[in-house]
Structures are given as C-alpha cells and as structure tokens.
Amino acid sequence: MIRIVSYIFLLTLLSTTVSFGQKKLNSSLYNYTVIIPDSLIETTDPGNDSEKTYFDDVSGIVLMITGRDGIYDNSNSYMNCSKKDLERQLKDYQGDSTLKLISCSKSKYYTAEAVTLQFETHVLPQGFNRCLIYFIHHKNKEIQFSFMYDKADINSSIAYIDGIMHTLKLF
C-alpha cells in the first residue's frame, strides 16, 4: 500500500515538472524550434527540412511547415495584408471562387517578423475548409506554418494551433 501511494505521489510530482506527449522540432536551417503534440504524426520524409507535413487524426488538424531562402525584405512584402485585391489573388491561387478571406494581420507571436492569414475554402482535402497560415520572415529565410482544419471545430482548433504557436522560438 505504501509503495502504491509513493508511486502515485512520484507520478504526480513528475507530471507537474515534465511535459508528456510532446516533441520538439528544431530547424537549424531556418533557425526555429517549436513544440508540437505527439499526436501530430509526420507524413513526409523526416530528412527534408524545407517541407514537413504532420497530421493529427483525432483533432482533425494538418500542419505543414515550409521554408525557403528569403526573396523578400520583410514580412509585409512577404504577405501584404493591405492589398485591396488580396482575396481575389487568393481565389485565383487556390482555384476556388468561393474562397473567403477571414483575416490578415500581424501575428501576436513575433509581430515584427510574422503575419497571419486565415481563410475559408472548399478545395482542401479530406473535408478541411479553414486554413490559418503564419508567414514568418526571419534571418533572410521565409517560413510558413500552415494549419488546415474544419470550421465546425473552430474553437478547439484555434486553441490547439495557439498551443503550438506560443512555443515557437526563433533564434
């Protein structure tokens, strides 16, 4: 009995100091680290640092991380939210005349280096109809964290995404 109580106490102590069910992604090429849930399973070649795709079947979230050498000077030239025809450009790019721009603004994470774009579309696979993209311009590199999800689960999806993005560290 004492052994069981000691084990439960030890487990409780560990659970408050150690984070279970997460993995840290580190890119020395694009100078970032981010912590994602273990439930996000990588579906791309682990050796490819410029494009990674993760899928969480339970939460219904897809995360695509892409990077490239910078061709823009800053995040505003990378994704300019003030363009009057931004929604039309997105419709043309996605090939979806029903695309609806929901928001485009400075990110609450790394505001000097990041812009967020959120839109609704009908051309995403597997019933996903919302996309939230973080465009980041950092150290002459451009990084995108693109999340796809179903708008029916918007509150839990946004909380899930926020839980990931608040762990992003640029170095």
Indicate which CATH number applies to the domain containing 163. 3.40.1000.10
Residue 14 lies in a domain: no
Residue 148 lies in a domain: yes
Give the number of domains in the chain. 1
Residue 75 lies in a domain: yes
**Domain membership of residue 25 as a residue range:** 21-170
Residue 1 lies in a domain: no
**pTM (two decimals):** 0.83
| Rounded Cα gap, residues 135 and 160, in angstroms | 18
Residue 153 lies in a domain: yes
Residue 11 lies in a domain: no
**Res. 161 pLDDT band, cuts 50 70 90:** very high
Residues 49-100 pLDDT 10s = 789 999 999 999 999 999 999 888 888 887 889 998 999 999 998 899 999 9
Cβ contact 136:142 at 8 Å? yes
Q: Map 121-141 to HEC letters.
A: CCCCHHHCCEEEEEEEEECCE
CA distances from 68 to 87, 151, 165 (A): 24, 29, 19
Residue 8 lies in a domain: no
Pick 92 or 7 by higher pLDDT: 92
Residue 89 lies in a domain: yes
